[in-house]
Amino acid sequence: MNTRPETLIPVIGVITDVRLDTPDIKTFRVVTPDGKKAFDHRPGQCAMLSIPGVGEAMFSITSSPTNTEYMEFSIKKCGCVTEWLHQAEVGQQITIRGPYGNPFPVDDEFVGKNLLFIAGGVGLAPLRSVINYCRHYRSKYGTIDIVYGSRSKEDLLQYREIIEEWATDEGINVHLTIDREQENWDGHVGFVPNYVKELGFDTNKTAVLCGPPIMIKFTLEGLRSLGFEKTQMYTTLELKMKCGVGKCGRCNVGSKYVCKDGPVFRFDELDELPDEY
């Protein structure tokens, strides 16, 4: 028997709760069979979930590390593994391994800074972990602004948590927007990049972006026009991954592996990499 430790061999996770967040996004709560959290993680890190016979895929951990009881994953239905997961019921076992990747610098660069989170669609999933972490250690950070946009009101992820918890916290400003006008929505309507420009943030903030590539591109331009430096903006990338530990060779952008050296990158770091993500 080969008894060397092996990161590619997962442990069992049990889905203890499934929440339908939006028409195509569900949030899954996962613990080990004995009811514990499978492993500790840092905000922004990812885990490999798999269903034997279906496949394995990388997901960002949406719950905050400060939650010591379970992990949550907000997963959009878009491929084989995710479609299968969306049909899973409570009690279903899956496999889980991780944590992978580098976290957001919540305990160094972020400390003492005003934070601006900008997310689009399911891009809120990785940021929720950071936002809740920062809320937990509220005194370590300055003001927190959250700009979040989606196609429609129904497509806003974690809507209740945003409205009932985040928006009611002191020092946290939540700015929601949806793409098109719709009934019973009296908030802002318009795309995230434009909204960010309209809001016209001060540059005394560290920005964290996550969302579809096109949103990132234009939001980045918007923030730059507001005077933000690339060194004060972060994002998290996603590419196809198989091993999660920088060996299978497919998630590289230039010489950096997203699974090992990312997924969190500062924009000035991304500038040094070839445009292939």
Partner 1 sequence: MFKSSLNSINEIFAKIAENATLYLPSDNKDGNAVYTKWENGVVWSNSLNTVKSPKDFFFPQVEDMMAFKTEGKNIEINDIREESEDFVVFGVRACDVRSFDILDRVFLVDPCDSYYANRREHGIIISVACTKPSETCFCKTFDIDATNPGGDITVWKTEDSLYWSANTDRGRELLSKLNLEECGDEAVNEQKAKTEAILNKLPLANLNTDGFGGDKTDALFDRPEWKTLSESCLGCGTCTFVCPTCQCYDIKDFNTGNQVIRYRCWDSCMYSDFTKMAHGNNRLSQVERFRQRFMHKLVYYPANNDGIFGCAGCGRCVSKCPISMNIVKVMKTLGGND
From CA 242, how far away is CA 121, in angstroms rounded?
24
Identity of the residue, 172 or 270, whose beta carbon is nearer to partner 1 in the bound complex:
270
Short-list 27, 174, 42, 160, CA closest to 86: 27
Give the CA dihedral 244, 249, 252, 256, nearest 10 degrees. Answer: 80
For 244-253, b/e burial (b = at least 16 CB within 10 A) is bbbeeeebbb
Identity of the residue, 19 or 250, whose beta carbon is nearer to partner 1 in the bound complex:
250
Short-list 115, 135, 109, CA closest to 201: 115
Identity of the residue, 86 or 140, whose beta carbon is nearer to partner 1 in the bound complex:
86
Identity of the residue, 103 or 222, whose beta carbon is nearer to partner 1 in the bound complex:
103
Site for partner 1 in 225-254 (CB under 8 A): 238-240, 242-243, 245-252, 254
CB of 188 to partner 1, least distance (A): 26
Contact status, residue 50 vs residue 58, Cβ threshold 8 Å: no
Q: Which of 67, 95, 152, 173 binds partner 1 (CB under 8 A)?
A: 95
From CA 215, how far away is CA 271, in angstroms rounded?
17
Identity of the residue, 83 or 107, whose beta carbon is nearer to partner 1 in the bound complex:
83
Site for partner 1 in 154-173 (CB under 8 A): none
Assess 56 for contact with partner 1 (CB under 8 A): yes
Give the residues lining the site for partner 1 (CB under 8 A): 1-2, 4-12, 52-57, 78-80, 82, 89, 91-95, 238-240, 242-243, 245-252, 254-255, 272-274, 276-277
